Each structure stands twice: as structure tokens, then as C-alpha cells.
């Protein structure tokens, strides 16, 4: 029971728990330092840095997946579909990590490659994050303290499901800059701007929602928040159609359907997939989980709504 409670508060604070992959069965959850990978196709978005960020961008592995933290320079990496298969539909992909790190493999590059294989252009957004401790050891201690503080507050207030209210100005600005860049190079990249959407995972799902609800510069054709917050939101009349997927054993679900009802009440198309299992951070999927088919369902949803037609 204590492990369950501790895990819950990790999800509450981070917004994207230690992302899982097939490697979860062979590796532990310890964070291991790694060299920054080559990102030859990453395009700086020129949105500025991060205030009070003394540390350099650094990478580590957890559950076998590459993660990055202390991002102060936002970039966009294109994964373009084969022109012979491309249908003009494109997706900005936002990895999760509680705005403290980004799960670049499981919720970024792997998803983008899967989309491109289906003729859909994908653009992985490495958005700016909140500052964290310099060393990996200090970062680990910082996370433990956050978990302890969150558990204490939840016990005092009786609101264990309420998400932290953080300033998302920087990452939202990065989304808008990514949108502008794609628009500028849309002919070169074979992008139909009327079919440009956004997909986000966990914290990336929250950022996707932020863009759909508040941005006046990014006119998204559709959104796909994957295991994001279920809290109710105020939906504007021009909000895009939404595809939403989450598992019942995800800490962010907790039996609530607020965001789905918000879209339904606004009379905007919404597709909701609630899976029996999968936990949090399943990315494209893990073995023997019902949530493994969400990507197929998403493609079918795009097809039915006319986004996959050339």
C-alpha cells in the first residue's frame, strides 16, 4: 500500500512517471547518466532561454529510455514521411516528464517514426523545462523531496488528485514557434496546414491542451492528449476535435471524466479510449496490456475524420 501511495504522488508531481518500454523488464528504474545524443536534424526555435537556469542541458537513461532535463534551448526535429506515402497530415509531438525532463525516446522519437511510417509528418518538440539540480544524484534527491512534500500537502488538504499549477508560458511559446516554423516551411515539408495537429504524453498532453485552449497563434486541426489530466476545462467554441487515451490503472485517471465531458458539452467531436490496463507512460505500448492498441485506434480516428486522405 505504501508503494502504491508513493507512486501516486510521483505521478502527481512529475505528470509523467518513469516512462516504460520493453526494457522495463530487464532494467531497473535507476537514473544513469548518458552522453547527449547527436541531433543533426534538430532545429533551434529561437525562443530564448530559461530564467534562473544555471545548469546545462543534460541527458540520462531510465527504464532504458533516453531522457533530457534542464532544457533551455527549444528545438524541433522533423520526421518527414516518404513523399510517395505522405498525405499532408502532420503532428507536433510533445514528450512528457512533468516539465522537469522529457522522455525523448518513448514519447518522442519512437512515436514520430511510427507516424512517419503511416505517411504522417511528425515533429518532435523539445520544449523548455523548469530548472533542476545540476548533478543526477542531486536531482534524484530533489525529486524525493518533491514527492514527500506532495504527499504531505495532499494529506493536509484532502486533494490528492489536484495537479500543480505551473507557469507554462515558455513551453507554450515553444509550441507557437514550432507551429510558425512548420507553416513557413510547409511546402518544403509537404504539410497541409489544415491538417496539422498536436499529440502530447502526460505533461506533453497538458501542454497540448494548453495550446488548444489558450493559444491564438497555433491553429491546431486536432489534438491527441495521451494519458493526460482528466480535470474539467473551459472549452472555447473554436477548439479542435480531440482523441484522448488513458488506462484505468493510470494515477491521473482516478475515475474522473471531466475533460471528456467538457468537450462533449461544448459539442466538439471527441473520441475517448479508456483501457483496462497500461499504467502511466506506456508510450506506443508495453507487452500484454490492452492499451497497446491505442495507436491503431488513433490512426483509424484520423482516417474516419478525413485526415489521411491525400
Please tell me whether residue 163 adopts helix, strand or coil conformation: coil
Predicted local confidence at residue 8, as pLDDT: 34
Q: Tell me the average pLDDT across 102-113.
A: 97
176 within domain boundaries: yes
Greater pLDDT, 17 or 192: 192
Count how many domains the chain has.
Answer: 1
- pLDDT per residue as tens digits for the range 174-186: 999 999 999 999 9
Give residue 51's pLDDT.
92
Read off the CATH number of the domain in which 56 is found: 3.40.50.1820
Question: If pLDDT is split at 50, 70 and 90, which confidence band does 163 have?
Answer: low
- Give domain status of residue 40, yes or no: yes
Q: Which of 280, 282, 294 is nearest to 15 (CA)?
A: 280
Please determine, for residue 308, whether its predicted confidence score (pLDDT) is greater than 60: yes
pLDDT in tens, 185-201: 999 999 999 999 999 99
List pLDDT tens digits, range 236-249.
999 999 999 999 99
Q: Is residue 309 part of a domain?
A: no
Q: Are 123 and 115 in contact (CB under 8 A)?
A: no
Instruction: Note down the domain range covering 43.
Output: 2-304
**Spatial separation of the C-alpha atoms in residues 270 and 134, rounded to whole Å:** 42
Confidence band of 161 (pLDDT split at 50, 70, 90): low
| pLDDT-based confidence at residue 164 (cuts at 50, 70, 90) | low
Q: According to the model, what pLDDT value does residue 159 have?
A: 64
Amino acid 5: pLDDT: 32
Q: Judge whether 34 lies within some domain.
A: yes
State the Cα–Cα distance between residues 273 and 246, nearest whole angstrom.
6
pLDDT bucket at 26, cuts 50 / 70 / 90: very low
With respect to residue 310, please indicate whether it lies within any of the assigned structural domains.
no
Residues in contact with 201: Cβ distance below 8 Å, sequence separation at least 6, in sequence order: 16, 94, 95, 96, 103, 107, 111, 226, 227, 228, 281, 283
Amino acid at each position: 500500500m505504501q508503494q502504491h501511495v508513493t507512486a501516486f504522488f510521483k505521478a502527481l508531481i512529475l505528470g509523467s512517471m518513469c516512462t516504460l518500454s520493453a526494457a522495463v523488464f530487464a532494467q531497473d528504474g535507476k537514473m544513469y547518466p548518458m552522453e547527449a545524443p547527436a541531433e543533426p536534424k534538430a532545429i533551434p526555435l529561437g525562443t530564448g532561454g530559461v530564467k534562473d537556469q544555471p545548469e546545462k542541458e543534460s541527458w540520462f537513461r531510465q527504464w532504458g529510455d533516453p531522457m533530457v532535463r534542464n532544457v533551455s534551448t527549444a528545438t524541433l526535429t522533423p520526421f518527414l514521411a516518404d513523399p510517395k506515402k505522405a498525405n499532408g497530415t502532420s503532428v507536433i509531438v510533445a514528450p512528457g516528464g512533468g516539465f522537469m525532463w522529457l522522455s525523448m525516446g518513448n514519447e518522442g522519437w519512437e512515436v514520430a517514426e511510427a507516424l512517419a511510417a503511416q505517411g504522417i509528418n511528425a515533429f518532435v518538440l523539445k520544449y523548455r523545462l523548469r530548472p533542476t539540480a545540476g548533478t543526477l544524484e542531486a536531482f534524484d534527491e530533489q525529486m524525493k523531496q518533491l514527492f514527500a512534500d506532495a504527499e504531505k500537502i495532499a494529506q493536509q488538504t484532502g486533494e490528492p488528485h489536484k495537479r500543480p499549477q505551473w507557469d507554462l508560458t515558455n513551453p507554450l511559446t515553444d509550441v507557437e514557434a514550432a507551429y510558425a516554423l512548420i507553416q513557413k516551411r510547409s511546402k518544403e515539408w509537404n504539410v497541409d496546414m489544415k491538417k496539422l495537429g498536436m499529440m502530447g504524453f502526460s505533461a506533453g498532453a497538458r501542454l497540448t491542451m494548453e495550446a488548444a485552449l489558450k493559444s491564438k497563434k497555433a491553429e491546431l486541426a486536432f489534438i491527441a492528449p495521451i494519458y493526460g489530466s482528466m480535470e474539467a476545462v473551459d472549452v472555447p467554441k473554436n477548439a479542435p476535435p480531440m482523441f484522448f487515451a488513458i488506462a484505468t490503472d493510470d494515477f491521473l485517471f482516478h475515475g474522473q471524466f471531466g475533460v471528456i465531458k467538457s468537450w462533449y458539452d461544448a459539442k466538439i467531436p471527441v473520441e475517448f479510449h479508456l483501457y483496462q490496463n497500461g499504467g502511466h507512460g506506456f508510450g506506443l505500448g508495453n507487452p500484454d496490456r490492452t492499451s497497446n492498441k491505442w495507436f491503431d485506434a488513433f490512426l483509424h480516428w484520423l482516417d474516419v475524420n478525413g485526415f489521411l486522405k491525400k
